[in-house]
């Protein structure tokens, strides 16, 4: 394992200065991670020497482009231990990945896909279960499926720290449940979900499981086969890769019969004037021109993470979580959303979302930005969980493998000055 201080040399942006010449302290990795030179080089080399249409040409450049495109798929598949690369579908981001599954279920429920897609059908009397801690990307699509099909949306409640209530899991998932969609790790509290417990309950009732792994894949060892879920979605830009690329992992037996939601060239087997049949996964979901350079970059990011070691990433970030979360929990007038971290186990991500009494989150963010510390402010696309905590917004610092312990402490130190600056110490 390389130390964070050594890894930083791979990330050119971390050498720059920001406000008033201050060195950049980048603590917004839960929103978008920075990219190492290896990823930047992979994208540039593809654009410079191998740019071509994938799976559509017989000339050398097209062959090279296709090889790099599919090689990247194989690399990302290895990172999450997919059964085969064909179980990994390229999408634009995790939001599109989840919508691909949700839209496919809605289409199957409308009769699209024929008898082989019947297992995806939902309707009146059926329930789709989510949790109170979901990002909007794993909430809104399921609202729309219910609106289109007549199914009912239900959710697992969380306690005052943001942990899913076991009694709610037991009562909400029942014989009516057809789909359970849930996050692997919260982007607000940092809590890592007990995936096994939810999967076990879903299996009892024969429900499909859809995992939002967006915050897990960049920071924790993820083995999609061992987790036992049916689908898992994640985004490239949170795992050191480019924007505009994401992935959906799914069991091949399910992907091959899930109706597509985007239609056109590249996904079809036969087309007549009357009807169309689809290719097997993953290509049935990859209509149109593909984000090839982005996929190549994501493949390079996957290789980078595997070289560092995901166990090492998790251990490093658990220590950062402890520094930030313990530090802010001791500050008067500062509320930490979620539990305090424990460096002996990676059950909380390396992030800390806080609410400062008497100071708006945007003002907190401005003070930090003036000190050169980049954080996220707002509701982090998670209004229901903030509402559960009785707040509108928070200020979130989030780390990655390149974040140092000194940077985590700097966040706490500057945060300690906020209430004094605004004169709200009383």
Residues 2-58: tens digit of each pLDDT = 777 789 999 999 999 999 999 999 999 999 999 999 999 999 999 999 999 998 778
Q: Does the residue 107 lie in any domain?
A: yes
**Per the structure block, which two tokens stand in for 315?**
């251990």
Q: What is the mean pLDDT of the chain?
A: 95
Based on the domain organization, do 398 and 332 belong to the same domain?
Answer: yes
Q: Which pLDDT tens digit goes with each residue over 97-153?
A: 999 999 999 999 999 998 999 999 999 999 999 999 999 999 999 999 999 999 999
Q: How many domains does the chain have?
A: 2
Count CA within 13 A, CB hemisphere, residue 368. Answer: 30
Examine the fold and report which residue of 260, 286, 306 is the final residue of a domain before the chain moves on: 306
Instruction: Quickly state the pLDDT bin for 426 (edges 50, 70, 90).
Output: low
Q: Is residue 163 part of a domain?
A: yes
Mean pLDDT computed over 260-264: 90
Query: Rounded to an integer, what distance in angstroms lies between the CA atom of residue 137 and that of residue 342?
Result: 28
Residues 145 and 249 placed together within one structural domain of the fold = yes
Pair (315, 394) in one structural domain: yes
Mean pLDDT of 392-398: 98
Say whether both 279 and 410 belong to one domain.
no
What pLDDT digit, counting tens, does each position of 90-108 carry?
999 999 999 999 999 999 9
**Cα angle 191-195-197, degrees, rounded to a multiple of 5:** 115
pLDDT of residue 209: 98
Q: Where is pLDDT greater, at 189 or 289?
A: 189
DSSP character for 129? Answer: E
| Among the listed residues 13, 28, 4, the one whose alpha carbon sits nearest the alpha carbon of residue 377 | 28
> What is the pLDDT averaged over residues 283-304?
95
Nearest to 80 by CA among 65, 66, 97, 61: 97
**Residues 123 and 213 reside in one and the same domain:** yes
3-state secondary structure of 294: helix
Asked whether residue 38 is assigned to any structural domain, the reply reads no
Task: Assess if residue 371 is contained within a domain.
Answer: yes
- What integer pLDDT is reported at residue 425 of this predicted model? 76
301 and 384 housed in the same domain: no
pLDDT band at 346 (very low <50, low <70, confident <90, very high): confident
Could you tell me if 322 and 242 lie in one domain?
no
Question: How confident is the model at residue 378, as a pLDDT?
Answer: 94
Does residue 343 surpass a pLDDT of 80? Answer: no
Integer-rounded Cα Rg, in Å, for the chain is 22
Task: Examine residue 136 and state whether it is found in any structural domain, yes or no.
Answer: yes
Structure tokens, 147 = 């609106």
Q: How many residues does the chain have?
A: 426
Residue 296 forms part of a structural domain = yes
Q: Which residue, chain included where needed, has tokens 């890592």? A: 192
Query: Could you tell me how far CA 315 lies from the centroid of its own chain?
Result: 19
Q: What is the structure's pLDDT at 289?
A: 87
Q: Distance from first CA to last CA of the chain, Å, rounded?
A: 46
| Residue finishing a domain among 272, 306, 340 | 306
Same domain, 292 and 319: no
- Rounded Cα distance between 195 and 218, Å, is 17
Q: What is the per-residue pLDDT for 199? A: 98
Is residue 342 domain-shared with residue 406, that is, in the same domain?
yes
Do 250 and 216 reside in the same domain of the chain? yes
Same domain for 297 and 365, yes or no, is no
**What is the rounded (10 degree) CA torsion for 306, 297, 33, 38?**
70
Q: Is 22 found in the same domain as 63?
A: no
pLDDT over 70 (residue 1): no
3-class secondary structure, 395: strand
CA distance 89 to 250: 8
Distance, CA of 317 to chain centre? 16
Rounded to 10 degrees, the C-alpha dihedral 69/71/77/82 comes to 110
On the question of pLDDT at 75 being above 70, the answer is yes
Instruction: Tell me whether residue 283 is in a domain.
Output: yes
Instruction: Decide if 249 contacts 88 (C-beta within 8 A).
Output: yes
Catalytic residue set: 381
Pairing, β 177-183 against β 152-156: unpaired
Q: Is the separation of the CB atoms in 184 and 212 below 8 Å?
A: yes
Q: Is residue 36 in a domain?
A: no
Domain extent for 82: 43-306
- Is 400 in a helix, a strand, or coil? coil
pTM equals 0.96
Q: In this predicted structure, what is the pLDDT of residue 264? A: 83
For residue 316, the domain's CATH number is 3.90.1150.10
User: Which of 278, 306, 334 is a domain's end point?
Assistant: 306
Q: Which 3-state string (H, E, C) describes 209-273?
A: EEEECCCCCCCCCCCHHHHCCCEEEEEHHHCCCCCCCEEEEECHHHHCCCCCCCCCCCCEEEECC
Kindly report the CATH number assigned to the domain that includes residue 187. 3.40.640.10
Residue 175's pLDDT band (cuts 50, 70, 90): very high
Alpha carbon distance 61, 59 (integer Å): 6
Per-residue pLDDT reduced to its tens digit, 304-317: 999 999 999 999 99
**b/e burial code for range 269-299 (CB count within 10 A of at least 16 → b):** eeeeeeeeebbebbbbbbbeebbbbbbbbbb
Q: Which residues contact 262 (CB under 8 A, 6 or more apart)?
A: 285, 287, 288
Weakest-pLDDT range from 84-93, 143-152, 343-352: 343-352
Structural contact between residues 183 and 134, judged by C-beta atoms closer than 8 angstroms: yes
Q: Between 391 and 275, where is the model more confident?
A: 391
CA distances from 176 to 147, 206, 390 (A): 17, 10, 31
Closest among 220, 227, 244, 215 to 90, alpha carbons compared? 244
- Closest by alpha carbon to 54, among 250, 281, 293, 302? 293
The answer to whether the beta carbons of residues 61 and 255 sit under 8 Å apart is no
């Amino acid at each position: 394992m390389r130390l964070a201080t050594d890894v930083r040399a791979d990330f050119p942006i971390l050498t720059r200065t920001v406000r008033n010449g201050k060195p950049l302290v980048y603590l917004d990795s839960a929103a978008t991670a920075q990219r190492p030179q290896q990823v930047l080089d992979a994208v540039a080399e593809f654009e410079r020497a191998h740019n071509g249409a994938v799976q559509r040409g017989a000339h050398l450049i097209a062959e090279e482009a296709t090889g790099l495109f599919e090689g990247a798929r194989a690399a990302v598949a290895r990172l999450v231990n997919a059964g085969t690369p064909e179980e990994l579908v390229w999408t634009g981001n995790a939001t599109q990945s989840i919508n691909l599954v949700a839209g496919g279920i809605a289409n199957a429920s409308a009769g699209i896909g024929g008898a082989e897609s019947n297992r995806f059908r939902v309707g009146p009397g059926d329930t789709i279960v989510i949790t109170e801690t979901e990002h909007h990307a794993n909430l809104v699509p399921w609202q729309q499926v219910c609106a289109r099909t007549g199914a009912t949306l239900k959710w697992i409640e969380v306690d005052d720290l943001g942990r899913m209530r076991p009694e709610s899991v037991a009562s909400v998932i029942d014989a009516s449940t057809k789909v359970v969609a849930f996050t692997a790790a919260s982007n607000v509290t940092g809590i890592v979900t007990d995936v096994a417990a939810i999967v076990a309950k879903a299996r009892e009732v024969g429900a499909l499981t859809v995992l939002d792994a967006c915050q897990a894949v960049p920071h924790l060892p993820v083995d999609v086969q061992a987790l036992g879920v049916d689908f898992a979605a994640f985004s490239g830009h949170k795992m050191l890769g480019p924007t505009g690329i994401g992935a959906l992992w799914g069991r091949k037996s399910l992907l091959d019969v899930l109706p597509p939601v985007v239609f056109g060239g590249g996904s079809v087997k036969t087309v007549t004037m009357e009807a169309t049949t689809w290719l097997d996964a993953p290509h049935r979901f990859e209509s149109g021109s593909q984000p090839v350079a982005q996929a190549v970059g994501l493949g390079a990011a996957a290789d980078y993470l595997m070289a560092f070691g995901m166990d090492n990433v998790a251990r490093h970030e658990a220590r950062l979580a402890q520094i930030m979360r313990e530090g802010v929990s001791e500050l008067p007038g500062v509320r930490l959303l979620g539990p305090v971290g424990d460096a002996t186990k990676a059950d909380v991500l390396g992030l800390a979302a806080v609410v400062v009494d008497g100071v708006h989150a945007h003002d907190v963010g401005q003070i930090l930005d003036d000190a050169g510390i980049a954080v996220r402010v707002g509701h982090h696309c998670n209004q229901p969980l903030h509402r559960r905590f009785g707040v509108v917004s928070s200020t979130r610092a989030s780390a990655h493998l390149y974040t140092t312990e000194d940077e985590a402490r700097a966040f706490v130190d500057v945060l300690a000055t906020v209430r004094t600056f605004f004169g709200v110490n009383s």
